[in-house]
Amino acid sequence: MALTISYIIIAIYSIALLLIFFYSLAQLNLLVNYLSQKRKNQTAPKFNLLDPKEIPYVTIQLPVYNEEYVMERLLENIAKIEYPKSKLEIQVLDDSTDESVAVTAQRIFELQETGLDIQHIRRTDRTGFKAGALKEGLKIAKGEFIAIFDADFMPSSDWLKKTVIYFKDTEIGVVQTRWGHLNRDYSTLTKIQAFALDAHFTLEQVGRNAKGHFINFNGTAGIWRKETILDAGNWEGDTLTEDLDLSYRAQLKNWKFKYLEDVETPAELPVVISAARSQQFRWNKGGAENFRKTVWSVISAKNIPFKTKFHGVMHLLNSSMFLCVFLVALLSIPALYIKNTFGHLDWVFSLLNLFVVSTIILFICYWFTYKSVQGSSFDGFIDYIKLFFTFFSVALGFSLHNSLAVLEGHMGKRSEFVRTPKFNINNLTESWKGNKYLAKKLSPNMILEFALMLYFLFGMYSAVPLNDFGLFPFHFMLFLGFSFVFFKSLTARA
């Protein structure tokens, strides 16, 4: 019986390791694409905005929900957009239920007095959440192009001039820009979030876009051709990541996406772990929901090549990698004892080298993305090493939370769209603790995260009597990661 259970554990452990390895190979291929794209001189047809006949009509949509702390900053910034007023409309899609509604209405009235075409659009219910609000606004939008910004984003005044010009190419349905980070250096939590997002917005977006593989509109800081939205079936609220859903439906209809790495749109990162939790849960569950909804359409599509299908499937499986990582982590301690109990199974554990190779591949890939944003130097490389292993440890600490989100997504369990609280914190002396939108309840996952912290401490101890220290660094990072997530979650409500 013990041997049978050991075989089952080894089988699950090996499959998870192989999936992680294939994911890392996909990332390595994206790195090759990224580096080759950086060497190319890009040319594309562009609108001449100096010719009044070529200036297209644009609608800016601002979907908001209970954003008291950032609404004034958002509206002040968006009013600075440089674009002919006769060709610009702004829709504030306000589903708020708190006192921010009155303040927003007053500020919009003041902007209307300056001649700005800005409308305060309210709904009687939140059907479809953000997707529903965008769809409602689209019904009356005047623009042929639709720019979208979340409440914490601060586009530069010339943002439209840098983006809308690419729609001269009638095959382009979306132009997406790179996210910047207003508060990157606020804390360890914001640094690792920025690190992960930078990898997505350089390595992944450029690497896929360079070879014509599917990328995604990131929900904000991008601009759609209205015709593309309608042709792809419009916004749908049946997943928590409506942006990924519509992106794939549009590209399956042969619309091209244009990614602009050089155009940065700054935004605020969550400064408290409960906010990061809600964001991570939504993104990872939404990714799994979209895999469930879209993967067969990608695999069976006749109009896309095999390599694009492969990267599309791996893209849709991105969030599911957390489940693989969590399984490898959870089974690593039983695997350690199996290795030292059943000698004839020792050869199986050479598969563990795949995890080491995967880590090295990711280390190399993320270095190129890090230096493209932060610059390269010897001191910078040392900082990168520290940040990479901090990021890796905390990502491991989030693996339980994110795995539960992924499982819910794959099982089709529906849940409400939970917004990420915004803070408008500009420096380290400002406190987030008075933010009324923060979750006050302790996450039930914290009990399990505390137990896992102790579990991996036991894994570290196990290396001593077994005299087998091969997994000790892995268990040490897991212990640090779960400790970070648990204690940050605990003190976030102090």
Cβ-count burial of 296 within 10 angstroms (0-12 exposed, 13-18 middle, 19+ buried)?
A: exposed
Q: Which residues contact 14 (CB under 8 A, 6 or more apart)?
A: 348, 351
Cβ(194)–Cβ(216) below 8 Å: no
Of 95, 150, 198, 245, which one is the catalytic site residue?
Answer: 95
**CA–CA–CA angle 81, 83, 86 (5° rounding):** 125
Residue 99 phi/psi, 5-degree rounding, is -70, -5
As given in the structure block, the two tokens for residue 398 are 């989030």
Which long-range contacts does 329-334 make (Cβ < 8 Å, 24+ apart)? Answer: 329/396, 329/399, 329/456, 329/474, 329/478, 331/9, 331/12, 331/13, 331/16, 332/13, 332/459, 332/471, 332/474, 332/475, 333/455, 333/456, 333/458, 333/459, 333/462, 333/471, 333/475, 334/9
Pairwise CA distance, residues 107 & 61, whole Å: 16
| Catalytic residue status for 468 | no
Mutual orientation of helices 273-300 and 306-316 as an angle, nearest 10°? 150
Active site residue 117: no
Pick the catalytic residue from 150, 152, 243, 245. Answer: 243
Catalogue the active-site residues: 95, 243
